[in-house]
């Protein structure tokens, strides 16, 4: 495909496609049915936006959230693409403008919430206005198993059948079940061309820590990243409020978010988060799909997620712009107990519960990993990887020890007490702590009493946590969390298997390596100034800051310090429209002076024709008074020069026509030299 790349450069200002994007764009443009699974931040939007521009007619985009649609539409309008949304949040003027654009045959992308599809008139309308491609964002919303299920998504299949146009579905959700459901519901089980783009997000630093003092751990983590936008995920609503208050007390800008807040309050947090730099949102998992902010710099989990998929999705919200981002996940035995109980007490059928336990186990395996976390994470998604160098275990390898004897002692204690107790009591027995309860139950008479004195209590807690994490023991919901052994434990108890454990993992956040700076110290003040300019522009237009430019673009500006608009145009993320709109304003911040260029020249900035234009301008200035320097002054309009530069008009007669007789006489020969020399 030859046409996609120039669009990517001129409109979106990007040098090349990200891995996978190019092939998807080609397939969608060619009208194939496509299912693309790409990690968050992989750049899904471009995969339907560019085909929409390359194809005739209108592309309808089904997207689950109004806020998300509005942001995308604004971002498209910023780069000069004719896009609109029909949503319940539109003003009458907005709706009228969308219809005008449709009637004028100018609209290329029409965003729509799935609810609209409930009306049969919608299908007719879409047919009438010439929709010839359906793009489905967040396609996993069609899956009833997922937590994002949207019943109206089920209508999309019928829409596709009715319009008989190709459909491209996009999601970041990895698991097989969801993929199968998407294919069944959206494509009538006819397998589409599928693209599975690797799951690695190499810019996201992975780290886990055993819960010690979770509030302090989170505060320390946030402190080291002050001023950066971040999310803290919590297991309960009450906790979000408490932690947000604690963060504010330590001088952060922070607010809480959960599903029990009223919709207006929630929307306010979403908008603030999108617009403000450096806001921290402390939230339950309800804070998720509505956020489309590419420059979230960190995600911390104050409580463990419910599965490895959820974990991956939640941390994946960080660093979508590709710049470094950091994560920290805290976990402890109480998390494991809580998650197991939730699964066991849930209403799902037995096979589903078993699958949920397995997904939780995969996450616990990641938490208790002994080597590179990214390898473990990617292995779950079926990918091989080298050691990543960007996770806590690569940074600081853990000490391990042969835990077989310790685990066997613990298992014996469980067995001798008939699988009736939780870890606290079991540890008392192992360490020979004759509490009242121990005496009452006469557990001090057991052979295992005091058999584990070689480890202090915290060490035993870490051993029990790892045993739970490795699924050797599970809390029994019917016995108030008493620990029961699983199959794999029996092999260890019998001495058929050995087990390697981590030495304690309780390590404070303080001892983690210092924060990676986004930018070196020297450029930091400039970055702040650029961000301030961005904020002012964003506020004036009431759009999120990243709609003007993402962090990554500002970072590149601060590092490369473009001198003029031509340099500016070479910064990734600066397309033609944005250069025209904002280039001069940001350049002024960088160079400290206002640079004005004729608009006709500005349009050429960063392209080959700009150099030609400049050369023509020079020649013209030299010949202003003719070769002899005594003639009446004469010059060409900027528009004409731009046209000549752009068309590279190097045959004499066309050039003469463009210039007109008088100017041709003075400039044509010299211009031709320039144009032919540039050939
Ligand atoms: P997704 O929907 O897959 O999470 P987006 O489409 O929102 O991701 O893209 C994430 C970010 O990456 C956006 O800021 C986008 O502008 C940027 N991006 C996408 N494609 C490219 C590319 N080819 N080069 C540079 N940046 C890109
Ligand atoms: Zn690693």
Q: pLDDT tens, 127-158?
A: 999 999 999 999 999 988 766 889 999 999 99
Kindly give the distance from the C-alpha atom of residue 41 to the centroid of ligand 1, in angstroms, as a whole number.
Answer: 6
Across the range 24-50, mean pLDDT stands at: 93
Least confident of 6-10, 301-305, 675-679: 675-679
Please give all residues whose CB falls under 5 A of ion ligand 2, grouped by chain where several chains appear. Answer: 372, 374, 388, 391, 394
Across the range 233-258, mean pLDDT stands at: 95
User: Pick from 524, 530, 542, 518: which is nearest to 582 by CA?
Assistant: 530
Q: Is it the case that residue 431 has pLDDT exceeding 80?
A: yes
Which atom belonging to ligand 1 lies closest to the Cα atom of 12? 16
Q: Which of 57-61, 486-490, 592-596 has the highest mean pLDDT?
A: 57-61
Q: Is it the case that residue 599 has pLDDT exceeding 80?
A: no
Residue 372 pLDDT = 95
Taking CA atoms, 306 is separated from 72, 171, 360, 467, 641, in Å, by: 30, 20, 6, 18, 63
d(CA 529, CA 322): 22
Across the range 110-118, mean pLDDT stands at: 92
Kindly give the distance from the C-alpha atom of residue 309 to the centroid of ligand 2, in angstroms, as a whole number.
Answer: 19
Q: pLDDT above 70 covers what percent of the chain?
A: 95
Gyration radius (Cα) of the chain, Å: 31
Residue 54 pLDDT = 95
Across the range 616-630, mean pLDDT stands at: 82
Residue 575 pLDDT = 92
606 lines ligand 1 (CB under 6 A): no
Q: Which of 41, 135, 555 to mutate to test the pocket of ligand 1 (most atoms within 8 A of CB)?
A: 41
Which atom belonging to ligand 1 lies closest to the Cα atom of 16? 23
Residue 112 pairs in a beta bridge with: 62, 86
Query: Strand order of the sheet with strand 58-62?
Result: 83-86, 109-112, 58-62, 131-136, 167-171, 34-37, 193-196
576 lines ligand 1 (CB under 6 A): no
Least confident of 43-47, 61-65, 598-602: 598-602
Q: Which of 156-165, 355-364, 549-558 has the highest mean pLDDT?
A: 156-165
d(CA 86, CA 91): 10
Closest C-alpha to ligand 1, atom 9: 43
Q: Is it the case that residue 439 has pLDDT exceeding 90?
A: yes
Residue 346 pLDDT = 82
Confidence category of residue 511, pLDDT binned at 50, 70, 90: very low
Kindly give the distance from the C-alpha atom of residue 321 to the centroid of ligand 1, in angstroms, as a whole number.
Answer: 6
Q: Which of 187-201, 240-254, 314-328, 552-566 has the highest mean pLDDT?
A: 240-254
Confidence category of residue 11, pLDDT binned at 50, 70, 90: very high
Which atom belonging to ligand 1 lies closest to the Cα atom of 292? 7
Residue 679 pLDDT = 52
294 lines ligand 1 (CB under 6 A): yes
CB 182 within 8 A of CB 139: yes
d(CA 201, CA 223): 24
Which atom belonging to ligand 1 lies closest to the Cα atom of 44? 3
- Is pLDDT larger for residue 256 or for residue 1? 256
Nearest ligand to the CA atom of 16: 1
Helix (H) or strand (E) holding 170: strand 167-171
Q: pTM to 2 decimals?
A: 0.69
Confidence category of residue 596, pLDDT binned at 50, 70, 90: low
Residue written as token pair 């590092």: 559
Across the range 463-475, mean pLDDT stands at: 86
Which atom belonging to ligand 1 lies closest to the Cα atom of 322? 12
Kindly give the distance from the C-alpha atom of residue 492 to the centroid of ligand 2, in angstroms, as a whole number.
Answer: 29
Give the ranges where 595-649 is alpha helix by DSSP (H).
Answer: 599-602, 608-622, 638-647
18 lines ligand 1 (CB under 6 A): yes
For the chain, what is the mean pLDDT?
A: 88
Residue 397 pLDDT = 87
Which atom belonging to ligand 1 lies closest to the Cα atom of 572? 25
d(CA 144, CA 164): 25
Residue written as token pair 């470094």: 324
Q: Is it the case that residue 516 has pLDDT exceeding 80?
A: no
Kindly give the distance from the C-alpha atom of residue 464 to the centroid of ligand 1, in angstroms, as a whole number.
Answer: 43
403 lines ligand 1 (CB under 6 A): no
């Amino acid at each position: 495909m030859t046409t996609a790349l120039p669009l990517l450069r001129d409109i979106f200002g990007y040098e090349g496609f990200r891995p996978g994007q190019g092939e998807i764009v080609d397939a969608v443009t060619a009208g194939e049915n496509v299912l693309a699974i790409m990690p968050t931040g992989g750049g899904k939007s471009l995969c339907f936006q560019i085909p929409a521009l390359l194809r005739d007619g209108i592309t309808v985009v089904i997207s689950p959230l109004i806020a998300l649609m509005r942001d995308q539409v604004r971002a498209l309008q910023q780069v000069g693409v004719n896009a609109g949304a029909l949503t319940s949040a539109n003003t009458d003027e907005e709706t009228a403008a969308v219809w005008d654009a449709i009637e004028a045959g100018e609209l290329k992308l029409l965003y729509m919430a799935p609810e609209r599809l409930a009306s049969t008139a919608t299908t007719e309308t879409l047919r009438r206005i010439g929709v010839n491609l359906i793009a489905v964002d967040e396609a996993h919303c069609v899956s009833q198993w997922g937590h994002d299920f949207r019943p109206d998504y089920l209508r999309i299949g019928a829409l596709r059948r009715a319009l008989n146009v190709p459909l491209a579905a996009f999601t970041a959700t990895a698991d097989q079940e969801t993929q199968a459901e998407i294919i069944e519901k959206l494509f009538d089980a006819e397998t589409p061309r599928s693209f599975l783009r690797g799951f690695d997000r190499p810019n996201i630093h992975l780290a886990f820590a055993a819960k010690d003092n979770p509030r302090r751990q989170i505060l320390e983590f946030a402190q080291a990243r002050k001023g950066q936008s971040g999310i803290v995920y919590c297991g309960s609503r009450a906790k979000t409020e408490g932690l947000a208050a604690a963060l504010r007390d330590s001088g952060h800008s922070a607010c809480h978010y959960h599903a029990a807040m009223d919709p207006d309050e929630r929307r306010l947090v979403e908008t603030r988060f999108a617009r403000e730099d450096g806001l921290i949102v402390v939230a339950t998992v309800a804070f998720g799909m509505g956020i489309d902010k590419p420059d979230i710099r960190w995600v911390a989990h104050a409580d463990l997620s419910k599965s490895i998929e959820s974990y991956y999705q939640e941390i994946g919200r960080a660093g979508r712009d590709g710049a470094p981002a950091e994560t920290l996940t805290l976990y402890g035995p109480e998390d494991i107990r809580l998650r197991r109980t939730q699964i066991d007490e849930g209403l799902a059928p037995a096979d589903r519960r078993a699958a949920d336990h397995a997904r939780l186990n995969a996450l616990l395996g990641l938490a208790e990993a002994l080597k590179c976390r990214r390898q473990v994470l990617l292995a779950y998604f079926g990918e091989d990887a080298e050691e990543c160098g960007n996770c806590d275990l690569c940074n600081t390898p853990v000490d391990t020890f042969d835990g077989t004897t310790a685990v066997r002692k613990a298992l014996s204690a469980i067995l001798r007490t008939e699988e009736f107790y939780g870890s606290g009591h079991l540890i008392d027995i192992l360490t020979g702590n004759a509490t009242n309860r121990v005496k009452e139950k006469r557990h001090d008479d057991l052979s295992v009493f005091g058999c584990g004195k070689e480890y202090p209590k915290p060490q035993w807690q870490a051993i029990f946590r790892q045993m739970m994490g490795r699924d050797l023991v599970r809390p029994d919901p019917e016995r108030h969390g008493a620990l029961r052994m699983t199959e794999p434990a029996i092999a260890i108890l019998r001495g058929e298997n050995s087990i390697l454990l981590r030495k304690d993992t309780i390590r404070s956040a303080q001892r983690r390596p210092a924060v990676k700076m986004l930018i070196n110290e020297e450029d930091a003040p400039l970055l702040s100034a650029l961000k301030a300019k961005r904020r002012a522009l964003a506020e004036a237009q009431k759009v999120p800051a990243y709609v003007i430019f993402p962090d990554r673009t500002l970072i590149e500006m601060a590092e490369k310090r473009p001198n003029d608009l031509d340099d500016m145009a070479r910064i990734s993320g600066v397309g033609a429209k944005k250069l025209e709109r904002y280039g001069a304003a940001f350049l002024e911040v960088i160079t400290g002076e206002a640079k004005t260029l004729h608009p006709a020249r500005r349009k050429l900035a960063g392209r080959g024709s700009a150099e030609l234009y400049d050369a023509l301008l020079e020649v013209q200035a030299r010949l202003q008074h003719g070769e002899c320097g005594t003639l009446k002054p004469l010059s060409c309009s900027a528009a004409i020069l731009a046209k000549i530069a752009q068309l590279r008009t190097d045959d004499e007669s066309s050039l003469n026509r463009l210039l007109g007789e008088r100017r041709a006489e003075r400039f044509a020969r010299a211009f031709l030299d320039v144009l032919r020399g540039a050939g």
